[in-house]
Chains A and B, each alone.
Chain A
Amino acid sequence: MIAMGTAEAGPAEPAPGGPAPPRRRARRGKRLAPYFLGLPAGLWLAIFFLVPLVTMLSLSLQTCDPFTLACTLTWRWGRFGEVFSAHTTQFARSFMYAGAATVLDLLVAFPLVYWIAFRARRKSVFLMLLLVPFFVSYVIRTILWQFILSDNGVVLGSLKAAHLLPERFHVLNTGFAVVAGLAYSYFPFAALPMYVALERIDKGYIEAAFDLYAHRATMLRRIVWPLALPGIFAAVLLTFVPAAGDYVNATLLGGTSSTMIGNVIQNEFLVFSDYPSASALSAILMAIMLVGIFIYARALGTRSIEEYV
């Protein structure tokens, strides 16, 4: 896309004199350059995205022998309906948990990155601090929460000792713990895109708003908010999408009634070896997300990006 824009700018200037062969060759090179530049990314997408995707879609329409795993394409569309209706609870729960985690992340991250972008002296230090947890594996960090939140651990144990909490109170193995875990896991994905959007705002606009006697709230509403929208759009996508498919948090922090659709897919794959059902569930999850993202982008995303950037 990048070079395409440049290539388009080329013909705008009229070619002076007769067409010189070397020049044409140079032009053709210029025209093909974007394709060569795009080749690695295209191959990457083809090998690691298209091939698995087609395999998954194909598998979801196959019928497999559960024992020998011999699969043949039978075009059994009915499976989609069956697996969906059997797991509506987990689908609904996944979107609820992911939605709650995303809202939580936005509420916490926005003021934080606003402060870093507009007020903090050493921005890089704070950005670094945001990223430091990423040096430790995601699963290990989630397991560490089990220790921190354990019933008689540092936090709850002390509160219980002070009689501030009832003896059997617990956070671990609840839906709340899963949402909190998701929010924690994907926090940087919410914070960084918003930071990028805020950081890019010309401070002159803010000064101008105040010069025109805008209230702080008005300034935020009329200047910062619209300019930050593309960042928020990206933040929501980067948080919600992986959170809805996550199964680690539900496994490690969840309880008896907090399994998400990722756990169901995992069981279908590993316990039942029912690859078609697992693929069908994955395809449904993808389809719901794509439709959701499309509507969301129409409502908020693309227009804002075109208008404001």
Chain B
Amino acid sequence: MTDDRTRGIDPALWRGLTEPRYSRRRFLRDAGVTVGGLSLASILAACGTKGVTTASGADAPNAGMGTPEWWGQQQLHNEFRFANWGYYIDTAHGEHPSLTKFTQDTGIQVNYFEDVNDNVQFYSKIRPDLQQGNDIGYDLIVSTDNDPPISQMVGFNWAIPLDQSKMTNFYKYSSDLIRDPSFDPGNKYTMGWQSGYTCLAYNSKFITEPITSLQSLFDPKYSGKIGMMGISSELGAIGLLALGKDPKASTPEEWQQAADKLMEQKPLVRSYYDSSYLRALKNEDIWITMAWSGDIFYAATYQGYDTLKVVIPDEGAMFWTDYMMIPYTAQNPLDAMTYMDSVFDPQVAAQIADYVGYVCPVPAAQEIIRTELDDPVVADSPTVFPTPEIEAVTHYYPSWADPNVVTGWNETFVPIFE
């Protein structure tokens, strides 16, 4: 025994490593000395946070920014940092041709980051820095109006007012669908990037009957093969549409009815997905699901999943738009501003729309895609260039600018997938 213990290792070291009593007492004594000097309550209280100043005017974080004089003082730095969703810009051989073209034309280098994976999570990441006034690492960010962050950021005065004199392409070519969002009348702070529908998708390999209604998501025949989104805004909106209610005008009582309906549906649902619903659909784990129009269009058109179908259901579809904004902490606002307007040039818009397959913010791009890019599939797709029939059944989200709406909505719908 003794031989074994002393071999190679000092017995005292062993004792030190293995006997907890001695060290614990010692530790407690030392810790007591350290902590004793400080009152616990004072430490705990010191952790309180100030929160956001909701003040506008002179006290606003973006005070003095974005005036014509302010823009006049800004200089190009020939680069800016752009945070966007993945698969949301034209891509070829690991590069983004429209960005390369922009750099050639203007000399402005675009550092493009596909860092947005979820509006709320991305917001949670940048929010502390925005609150403190630190650089968030991006000069241009994109956020979708189906979730609360974009209206909050505008409401908190965290966006630099845009240089209206540099929005020539926007005012000349952009579609009415993305103008004057409720949280930003007159496009003072934001411009749309792309839009899309939250609608229905199914795999025609397994479902041969024509799908036209959201009620198919509640059909016991597809039990275990139904996908829903575990995203509170989307899940609730589709629940309301299935009940025949307009989400934008809905009341808390109607939310509860929708939540009850979704709760009843729960045993049929395979899982509540985030953007991973697409993988489950491609892997054939689910046959019918809530979906984002462009995802399905792209998978079916370019990735060979040609049995996937996207449907704008009879009850309607949710229309959302991703909005670009320049945070007040931006280091290169003029470069970002220059880029923002350039994407409304029909040539650029066509190049992007032809790849991403979401709703194009520039109607004039349709002819360019059809003739110059020779891609009638995209040009004729009603989920890229919406037809009047689709616009007639388009619905919008409630106003997330009201914090009570956000909290009440989440408290109603989050328990379904939790």
Contacts and interface: CB of A to CB of B under 8 A. Distances in A.
Nearest to B124: A270
A66 interface: yes
Interface string A27-70: 00000000000000000000000000011011101101111111
Interface string B28-60: 000000000000000111111111111000000
Interface in A270-309: 270-273, 302, 305-306, 309
Given A4-B26, A6-B12, A151 B417 contact: no
Contact of A71 (B18, B20, B51, B283): B51
B266 interface: yes
A73 B16 contact: no
Contacts of B266: 256-257
A116 to B, nearest CB: 21
Contacts of B280: 146, 150
Interface stretch (B270-278, B362-370, B388-396): B270-278
Nearest to A67: B403
Contacts of A272: 407, 410, 414
A280 to B, nearest CB: 14
Contact of B283 (A146, A168, A269): A146
A309 B14 contact: yes
A170 B417 contact: no
Contacts of B4: 202
Interface stretch (A77-85, A185-193, A232-240, A259-267): A259-267
A267 B414 contact: yes
Nearest to A55: B47
Contacts of A66: 403, 406-407
Contacts, number: 134
Given A150-B285, A256-B272, A306-B19, A271 B414 contact: yes
Given A4-B23, A57-B44, A259-B418, A146 B16 contact: no
A124 B407 CA distance: 55
Contacts of B43: 54, 58
B36 to A, nearest CB: 15
Nearest to B4: A202
Interface in B10-28: 10, 12-20, 22-23, 26
Contacts of B285: 150-151, 170, 172-173
Given A302-B20, A306-B18, A270 B121 contact: yes
A302 B20 CA distance: 8
Most buried by A among B10, B51, B267, B407: B51
Contacts of B410: 271-272
A2 B120 contact: no
B204 interface: no
Contacts of A72: 48
A99 interface: no
Interface string A241-270: 000000000001011110100011001011
A59 to B, nearest CB: 6
Interface string A146-175: 110011110000000000000010101100
A53 to B, nearest CB: 11
Contacts of B284: 150-152
A136 interface: no
A5 interface: yes
B269 interface: yes
Contacts of A58: 43-48
B52 A68 contact: yes
Contacts of B121: 270
A8 interface: yes
Contacts of B118: 270
B283 A152 contact: yes
Contacts of B403: 66-67
Contacts of B267: 256
A4 to B, nearest CB: 6
Interface string B218-249: 00000111000000100000000000000000
Contacts of A172: 285
A173 B270 contact: yes
A9 B12 contact: yes
A1 interface: yes
A151 B49 contact: no
Interface in B242-290: 266-267, 269-272, 276, 279-280, 283-285
A305 B120 CA distance: 47
A256 B224 CA distance: 10
Given A1-B17, A152-B284, A255-B271, A73 B48 contact: yes
B185 to A, nearest CB: 21
B283 A147 contact: yes
A1 B14 CA distance: 10
Given A68-B54, A153-B283, A309-B18, A54 B232 contact: no
Contacts of B131: 69
Given A54-B43, A67-B403, A270-B124, A5 B54 contact: no
5 contacts: A4-B26, A62-B48, A69-B127, A259-B418, A271-B120
Given A2-B17, A153-B283, 5 more contacts: A66-B403, A170-B285, A256-B266, A270-B118, A302-B20
Interface of B: 4, 10, 12-20, 22-23, 26, 43-54, 118, 120-121, 124, 127, 131, 152, 223-225, 232, 266-267, 269-272, 276, 279-280, 283-285, 403, 406-407, 410, 414, 417-418
Interface of A: 1-6, 8-9, 54-55, 57-59, 61-62, 64-73, 90, 143, 146-147, 150-153, 168, 170, 172-173, 202, 252, 254-257, 259, 263-264, 267, 269-273, 302, 305-306, 309
Question: Top 4 closest A-B pairs, CB basis?
Answer: A70-B51, A5-B16, A58-B47, A5-B12
